[in-house]
Structure 1
């Protein structure tokens, strides 16, 4: 089973887990980490490390923004603790989190990331109103 850390600005990580649980039911191995105004780089690392120390197996971190503080802090942990098998992904969205929830029991973190990268273009859709052609 893959452990999942959801790490994001504000309360997005907590609400993302809550939204995913509306669809999947309880997700006990999903751990939200909030990044609030009073927090900093070190507090994100500390909060994530406290969770990681209690977990066994690989962990997938889903962060909101590439290059943002939550993402960078978790990349730092992945580099400092390679033995923990931490994989970090940015671009958190509900479709992405739902895909992770669907695969968490059967796939390792790297397998989940490989799959997500192969289908990510399908997660963003544009609504287009087709104009009717005039018939003469």
Structure 2
């Protein structure tokens, strides 16, 4: 199974993993490693390297933003390890990846899934109904 590492500034990646597991259930081979406030970039890069060493084959690394310390740390390690690095991770993207991932999935297949337009997760929702009063149904119950 493809190993997945989530990296971010602060606990963002840990929160995404917790939310992902709340929705999709417990996930094997998915881990989060956050950059702590005040942590040196070298120390963080060493932590990422130690985690990547445990992966048996090509893996996926998701990070919060391009250009930050998590991204730069992973980018530096690309010369030593085989992984795809995807920036801008979000919950819809991760749900799509883990719910389509199987024992025989390849990193390329999962990368393509992550990059699908449907996984961007950004849209404006207008519930105003031209100023009328329309209430959304919040439950599947009849009452």
Q: What range is the shorter-chain TM-score in? A: 0.7 to 0.9
Unaligned runs of 5+ in 1: none
Task: Report the count of equivalent residues.
Answer: 130
> What secondary structure is seen at the aligned counterpart in 2 of 1:13?
helix
Q: Which has the larger radius of gyration?
A: 2
For residues 64-85 of structure 1, the C-alpha deviation after alignment (integer angstroms, 9 at most, x for no partner) is: 011111011101111x21xx32
Q: 1:70-89 residue pairs with structure 2 within 5 A? A: 70-78=70-78, 80-81=79-80, 84-89=81-86
Larger helix share, 1 or 2: 1
Unaligned runs of 5+ in 2: 132-143
> What secondary structure is seen at the aligned counterpart in 2 of 1:66?
coil
Shift of 1:10: 0.7
Shift of 1:117: 2.0
Shift of 1:121: 6.2
85, 88, 100: which one pairs with 2:97?
100
Cα contact 2:5–2:30 (8 A) shared by 1: yes
Shift of 1:120: 4.6
Shift of 1:20: 0.7
The separation in 2 between residues aligned to 1:118 and 1:97, in whole angstroms, is 11
Runs of 4+ residues over 6 Å off in structure 1:
none
The separation in 2 between residues aligned to 1:99 and 1:74, in whole angstroms, is 23
